[in-house]
Structure 1
Amino acid sequence: MGFLKTLKEKVFKQDLENYENAGMIFAVRLLFEDRCRMPMPDDMDKIMKKHLGSTTMLSYSDEMTGYMANDYKVHYEDDDDLPVQLLIMKCVEIDEPVMDGLEISQLWDCPDGEEILKTCKYQVVANDMLASGLDHKVRAEMLVNFIEALVEMYPTCKAVVVEKSKKMLTREDIVNCNIPMELKFIHYAVNVRSFNVDGTNDKIVDTIGMSTLYLPDLQYHFTGMDTKDVVNHAYNLLSYIYDNKNPIESGNTVDGLKQGLINMDVQWKVQYEESLIQPIREVLDVNMGEHAAGKR
């Protein structure tokens, strides 16, 4: 299997040399049509405290502003607990494409995403530091709060792109999001992708973004089932993994689908393996029984 056809009928070749780094720094891009200035420090302080609680401004300049998030601390054996740092860079012109063609084909949560990428010529990059040691739910909450603080600071922002997953949401989607906190990280930062395998009836649904929390992404290689039903199954399984800090082991089974609905009478076996689609990473592959395709 070497070529993938997206649901938008574009064909892409697999890149089996592109490997993902789990955890590490979480970065987002805020996209703008026009250049903007760094917000005033008093305004930034007010917004950061509103969303992240106790924060301390480490630096402020036209080039970069840094904060310590005092309510989010990581324990190190040879040192005291250290607060996570949050960095916001100046607005700069975009000099390289934000996404490649394959990534653009997967903007299911932002129907106008391709047009936004064409019209937005400037970006603000923001990221965390020293955060990989946080409990996964604590880091997820912090990142959600940071994203919401950023879109309040920058009212002319058109969209936010999470660097690891290339998930794009408009600023309005984030400002108006009223789903429970425990679902927001998956909504903001995890992309569920879908592909057809060129020249076959095979389909692939996979996810990308969970490795920020050192949790597994998912992969389904199947035939003869509605892609939308598989996508919904993926979101449900991601939520279970997140809520329970992933208790799933290779050889376990998960509830499958019958007539598009999750059904306990249908059991699908799962195992950890290398992903079929870039970036190459360990995924939890879901063997969909009679609907399974490919070799395992």
Structure 2
Amino acid sequence: MLDDNENSRDYRVRLFFKQKPEVSKAAILDKMDVRSPGFAPRDGKRDSDRLDFRHPNFVTNIGGKSVGATWSIRDEEIEYPGDLTPYLPALEQSWLWDDAEGPVGDSEHQLVVLDQTAANMRPLERLAMMQLLVASVVETHPCEAIYWEATEQFLHPKKFLEGLKEFAAKPWKAPGAFNVRVSRVIGYGERRDDDSRDMLVDSLGLGILGWPDFQCHFRGLDWKEIQQIIYEKALEVFEKGPKIQDGQAFPGINASQVWKCRYEEAILGPPRKVIDIDPGIPYCAGLRYAVTAGVYVK
């Protein structure tokens, strides 16, 4: 049994549809019977309207009580169909699907797949169970787009299913498992000049599973190289666990660079602990640059 974690958050994935789908609970369970034997409806009925599920293998400790992890599917209307404004940040960071705007804009309904009281599951088991349930719903109820809310990216349904099959032995490599975002920082504090135009690259998807994400706030470096570094560091955590210690150093883009890590609060939301990668002078940016270089930045 795993320990309680008071900082847990539900893991959500949203499936977008043009029209309201007629959800078949039995069809979803038929798929899950193959993918994860033991997955069952909480009410014991395969044909009821209650879309809540459990699995006997996953029990957590919350408040000193044994509580089973649960999964739910909810039917919701999209509040403003055709309005992409709420999704623009995710659309910009959806590296695996360049043309998601059309299907997302055409959708009016959504099925929300989420887990509850599941935060204390082992990270890879939690991720895999969500992937299997989403795949089962998508196969039985074809949708226009998948919004992997936990990693803030849109996925093409067909590509998601293909990727999940391809990386069955390594679910962290499947589409949606984690994302590496790239953002431009234009000004901080009272500064709004060219010297304050920095970039931030961070990972998203490890924090919700209980592991630290990564971030690097920098200037004067190729963001694609930083994105690749953070991608590789995130993969290391999935494959080996978080081994990096506070203050640990590792080579940068070239062997002459020594970059240090430290644990911090994330600069860009959602709120979470991250391993901050400091590329050192002259590449470090923001308030960290002020401390390192002795420059006052308000």
Q: Provide TM-score, normalisation by structure 2.
A: 0.79
Per-residue deviation at 1:194?
Answer: 0.7
**Aligned partner of 1:174 among 160, 174, 192:** 160
Q: Report what 1:147 is aligned to.
A: 134
Q: Report what 1:239 is aligned to.
A: 235
Which range moved further: 217-226 or 273-282? 273-282
Matches within 5 A, 1:1-296: 22-39=7-24, 41-59=25-43, 64-75=50-61, 78-79=64-65, 82-90=67-75, 92-96=76-80, 99-155=86-142, 157-177=143-163, 178-184=166-172, 187-198=175-186, 199-200=194-195, 201-258=197-254, 266-290=257-281, 291-296=283-288
Equivalent AA in structure 1 for residue 95 of structure 2? W
- Whether contact under 8 Å (1:22, 1:212) holds in the other structure is no
**Higher RCO, Cα 8 Å, sep 6+:** 1
Secondary structure of 1:45 counterpart: helix
Per-residue deviation at 1:270?
Answer: 0.5
Equivalent AA in structure 2 for residue 68 of structure 1? R
Distance 1:50 1:254, change over 3 A: farther
In 1, distance between residues paired with 2:175 and 2:233?
13
Distance 1:29 1:229, change over 3 A: same
In 1, distance between residues paired with 2:185 and 2:62?
46
Distance 1:279 1:254, change over 3 A: same
Per-residue deviation at 1:76?
Answer: 6.0
In 1, distance between residues paired with 2:208 and 2:268?
18
Identity of aligned residues (%): 22
Secondary structure of 1:132 counterpart: coil
Q: Deviations over 1:59-111 (max 9, x none)?
A: 4677541111233333568555x542111123x32115683443333222221
Distance 1:28 1:287, change over 3 A: same
Per-residue deviation at 1:186?
Answer: 6.8
- Whether contact under 8 Å (2:28, 2:137) holds in the other structure is no
In 1, distance between residues paired with 2:270 and 2:27?
38
Per-residue deviation at 1:122?
Answer: 1.0
Equivalent AA in structure 2 for residue 246 of structure 1? P
Runs of 5+ in structure 1 lacking a partner? 1-20
Equivalent AA in structure 2 for residue 52 of structure 1? S
- Whether contact under 8 Å (1:52, 1:146) holds in the other structure is no
Name the structure where strand makes up a greater proportion of residues: 1
Q: Deviations over 1:109-142 (max 9, x none)?
A: 2211222221111100111122111122221222
In 1, distance between residues paired with 2:130 and 2:28?
16
In 1, distance between residues paired with 2:267 and 2:133?
32
Runs of 5+ in structure 2 lacking a partner? 1-5, 187-193, 289-298
Q: Deviations over 1:113-172 (max 9, x none)?
A: 2222211111001111221111222212222222222222212x1221122332221101
In 2, distance between residues paired with 1:282 and 1:186?
23
In 2, distance between residues paired with 1:181 and 1:83?
25
Provide the alpha-carbon RMSD of the alignment. 2.6
Q: Provide TM-score, normalisation by structure 1.
A: 0.80
- Whether contact under 8 Å (2:16, 2:146) holds in the other structure is yes
Q: Deviations over 1:156-200 (max 9, x none)?
A: x12211223322211011111113543436741322111222344
- Whether contact under 8 Å (2:184, 2:198) holds in the other structure is yes
